[in-house]
C-alpha cells in the first residue's frame, strides 16, 4: 500500500506504522484521544499534499468531524491513500477513518463500514479544451476513457450503461488527467464532479468540464464495520456541520469558483450497522 504521512512528530508516525489507531486501542473512534485519518493526496480542492501537509475540502470536513469527536487537530495523523488502498487501510487497522472521495457502494459495504454520506457528488466528464464532440455520456461511444485503479467510474459507463468504450487505468486521477488526457492518450476522464472541478480549477485553459451529470456518488466516511458507536458519532457530527453552516462555508471556499450546483442540505444517511 502506498501511503504518505507528513509533518508529524516521530511518535505519532510510529503509532500509525504499528497499527496503534483509536480503534485498535479503544474499539471505537467515539471518545478517542487521537485519530489516524486517510485522505487523498493528489486531488486538488479535495485532498492534496502541499508544503508538507494536506489541504482540501475533505481534509477540512475530517478535521471538523474529529473536533466533534473530541480530537484536537494536533492529535490527527494524516495518511495519504490511493483509491485502491482504501479498503485495505481500514481492514488492516492502518487508519481509523477514511475521507477520500469514497463512494458508498454495496460491493464496498461487504468489506468496510460507512458513516455519512457527508456529500452527494455526481459523475461527470472532463475532456480536452478543444474537444467539442462530447456533450453527454452517450458521446463516449468509441472513445478511450481513463479511470484510476480502485475506481469504478469507467467500468460503470461500459458495463452499466452499455457504452462501447475502451478503458485505460492509471494509478490515480492525477495521472489520468494531467498525463493521459492532456497528452491525448485518452479522449475523456469520467468521475465525480468535485474531483473533476478540482483539476479544472488547477488548469482551466487545458480542459473542458462537460457538465452533464448522470449518477449520484454518496461520499461516505470509511470506518471499521464493527464500530457502530463511532459511525453514529460521525453521523451526528456531519449533521451538526450542515446545521451550523460549516458545510456551506467549506463548499463555497473550495468549489465556489466553479459552475457546480453545490448542495448545502444534510444528505440522507446510509445508516450504521
pLDDT value of position 259: 77
Euclidean distance between CA atoms 136 and 7, whole angstroms: 42
Average pLDDT, the chain: 89
| Cα angle, residue 248 at apex, residues 247 and 254 outer, rounded to 5° | 90
Phi, psi of 154 (to 5 degrees): -70, -40
What are the cell numbers at 226?
464493527
Q: Cell for 188?
A: 475523456
Mean pLDDT of 75-85: 94
What dotted CATH number matches 123-209?
A: 3.40.190.10
Q: Please state the rounded mean pLDDT for residues 162-185.
A: 95
For 3-120+217-255, CATH number? 3.40.190.10
- Mean pLDDT across 14-23: 51
Task: Give the whole-number percent of the chain exceeding pLDDT 90.
Answer: 76
Q: What is the mean pLDDT of residues 185-201?
A: 93
Residue reference for cell 464532479? 193
What pLDDT score was predicted for residue 20? 58
Looking at residue 261, its pLDDT comes to 83
Helices (H), 75-202: 86-91, 106-109, 153-155, 173-175, 193-202
For CATH 3.40.190.10, the residue range(s) in the chain are 3-120+217-255, 123-209
pLDDT of 273 over the 50 cut: yes
> CA–CA separation, 31 vs 48, rounded Å?
28
> Tens digit of pLDDT for each residue in 100-116?
999 999 999 999 999 99
Q: In the structure grid, which three cell numbers stand for residue 196, read together?
A: 473533476
Locus of grid cell 479544472: 200
Sign of the Cα torsion 214, 212, 269, 80 reads positive
- In the block, cell 470509511 appears at 222
Amino acid at each position: 500500500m502506498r501511503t504518505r504521512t507528513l509533518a508529524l512528530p516521530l511518535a505519532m508516525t510510529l503509532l500509525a506504522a504499528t497499527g496503534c489507531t483509536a480503534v485498535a486501542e479503544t474499539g471505537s473512534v467515539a471518545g478517542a484521544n487521537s485519530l489516524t485519518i486517510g485522505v487523498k493526496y493528489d486531488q486538488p480542492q479535495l485532498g492534496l499534499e502541499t508544503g508538507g501537509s494536506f489541504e482540501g475540502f475533505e481534509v477540512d470536513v475530517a478535521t471538523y468531524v474529529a473536533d466533534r469527536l473530541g480530537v484536537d487537530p494536533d492529535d490527527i495523523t494524516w495518511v495519504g491513500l490511493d483509491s485502491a488502498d482504501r479498503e485495505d487501510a481500514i481492514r488492516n487497522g492502518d487508519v481509523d477513518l477514511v475521507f477520500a472521495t469514497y463512494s458508498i457502494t454495496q460491493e464496498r459495504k461487504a468489506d468496510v463500514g460507512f458513516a455519512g454520506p457527508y456529500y452527494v457528488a455526481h459523475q461527470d466528464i472532463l475532456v480536452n479544451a478543444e474537444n467539442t464532440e462530447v456533450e453527454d455520456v452517450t458521446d463516449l461511444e468509441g472513445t478511450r476513457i481513463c479511470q484510476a485503479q480502485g475506481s469504478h467510474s469507467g467500468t460503470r459507463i461500459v458495463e452499466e450503461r452499455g457504452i462501447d468504450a475502451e478503458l485505460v487505468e492509471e494509478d490515480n486521477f492525477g495521472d489520468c488527467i494531467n498525463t493521459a488526457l492532456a497528452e491525448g492518450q485518452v479522449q475523456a476522464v469520467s468521475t465525480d464532479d468535485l474531483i473533476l472541478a478540482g483539476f479544472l480549477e488547477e488548469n482551466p485553459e487545458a480542459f473542458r468540464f462537460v457538465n452533464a451529470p448522470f449518477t449520484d456518488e454518496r461520499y461516505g466516511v470509511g470506518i471499521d464495520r464493527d464500530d457502530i458507536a463511532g459511525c453514529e458519532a460521525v453521523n451526528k457530527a456531519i449533521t451538526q456541520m450542515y446545521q451550523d453552516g460549516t458545510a456551506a462555508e467549506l463548499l463555497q471556499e473550495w468549489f465556489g469558483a466553479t459552475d457546480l450546483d453545490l448542495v448545502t442540505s444534510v444528505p440522507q444517511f446510509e445508516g450504521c450497522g
